[in-house]
Amino acid sequence: MTEQKLRQRVADIMTGWVGATRGSAKHLEILEIYNNHKPLARGYKMKVSDAHCAATTSAAWIKAGIADYTGTECGVGKFITIAQNKGIWVENDAYVPKVGDAVVYDWDDSGVGDNKGAGDHIGIVTKAGDPFVVTEGNMSGGVVGQRNLRVNARYIRGFICPDYAAIAPKIQDTPDTPAQPAGDTVYTVVKGDTLSKIAAKYGTTVQALAKYNGITNVNIIHVGQTIRIPGAGSSTTAPAPATPSTGGIVNKLQAAMNRDDSLAGAYTVTAKSGLNLRYGADANKYGVIRALPYGTTVRNYGYFNVAGGVKWLYVKAGSDVGYVSSEYLKKA
């Protein structure tokens, strides 16, 4: 991995969330990434109603695989302290930032001299220059959005500048042209892609693609990455997830260990902009089957799993089955 590729990876993650509104599927993805990261900063689990600028920045660095070098936080002031302790804080309003650096704001800045006030807001630089572009969570109305900012502009408190040059060699890169058996299709990832979308397009499963391409985290793919689609002659396959029968789930071991009849029944999706139905419990490990719109009714037969201290219910939604977080369901 090169420094520039790693910086761009972070920028692509942030820009992929632009337009996310509070409670939307993208916003829930950000919170899932943040809340499922260990250690959880201060032990505090973010809620949909919380200000999420720091959590969004943290989630981008978590998803890019560099959180060990940047730290994570849900509060801006604490983020400054962490950056100072790690030696990646730049106390200079006039610093010219690079893609992947984080900008910290102070809304009480007078514009005179180097600002030493409290940090109020944070975002990540996704396009360098003067002006440069900052992508931020929790802009007005709780949306993920962008702003153009001039170098040494008013309200700049300082910058968090991870040492991408030192980090990049430690991050696994994606081969540009992996070897492939005859009959394989090679797909190049574009902005907005997910592994589940690609799997659906080619009539396969997330698990099959992950296994075939050596992908350890099905939630992390990058623009420009090549995904091999197994051809007819390929012997590497992965089974589809277990499916409930009319009266329950076929997997007897799961039935024995993860069943609570008090959970059985119909549920309504309460997330205003939808809830992701996943192949497994834990948003950081399993891909999305599809989004369930607000108000969708799903049915659970008492089966569940636990990830990050949260019960994920194994539900049937129409003809699809998978896991959903119980935090965004209400029993009908």
Identify whether the C-beta of residue 182 lies closer than 8 Å to the C-beta of residue 231: yes
Q: Which amino acid is at 312?
A: W
- Mean pLDDT lowest among 5-19, 21-35, 159-173, 193-207: 193-207
Domain locations along the chain: 3-169, 174-239, 244-331
> What is the pLDDT at residue 173?
66
Identify whether the C-beta of residue 64 lies closer than 8 Å to the C-beta of residue 9: yes
CATH topology of domain 174-239: Membrane-bound Lytic Murein Transglycosylase D; Chain A (3.10.350)
Is the domain spanning 3-169 CATH 3.90.1720? The answer is: yes
- Mean pLDDT lowest among 99-103, 215-219, 230-234: 230-234
Q: What does pTM read for this prediction?
A: 0.56
To 10 degrees, what angle do helices 25-35 and 53-63 make?
70
> 266 - beta bridge partners?
299
- In terms of C-beta density within 10 A (0-12 exposed, 13-18 middle, 19 or more buried), how is residue 233 classed? exposed
Q: What is the DSSP string of 91-141?
A: --TT----TT-EEEE-TT--SSSS--S---EEEEEEE-SSSEEEEEEEETT
What number is the average pLDDT over the span 145-171?
A: 94
Q: Give tens-digit pLDDT for 10-52.
A: 999 999 999 888 888 889 889 999 999 999 999 999 998 899 9
Report CA 297 to chain centroid distance, whole Å: 25
- In terms of C-beta density within 10 A (0-12 exposed, 13-18 middle, 19 or more buried), how is residue 209 classed? buried
Q: Give tens-digit pLDDT for 271-281.
A: 988 899 887 78
E strand or H helix at 71, and its extent?
Answer: none
Q: Please, which pLDDT band fits residue 243 given cuts at 50, 70 and 90?
A: very low
CATH topology of domain 244-331: SH3 type barrels. (2.30.30)
Q: Please, which pLDDT band fits residue 216 given cuts at 50, 70 and 90?
A: low
The yes-or-no verdict on residue 233 having pLDDT over 70 is: no
The most confident of the ranges 51-60, 211-220, 227-236 is 51-60
Q: Which tokens sit at 324?
A: 């959903």
| Strand ranges in 220-264 using DSSP code E only, listed in sequence order | 226-229, 244-245, 248-249
**Rounded CA separation 221/188 (Å):** 10
What number is the average pLDDT over the span 193-222?
A: 80
| DSSP type of residue 68 | H
- Could you count the other beta carbons within 10 Å of the beta carbon of residue 79? 25
Q: Give tens-digit pLDDT for 245-254.
A: 333 333 433 4
Q: Give tens-digit pLDDT for 259-313.
A: 677 888 899 999 988 899 887 788 877 777 888 999 999 988 777 888 888 888 8
How high does pLDDT run on average in the chain? 83
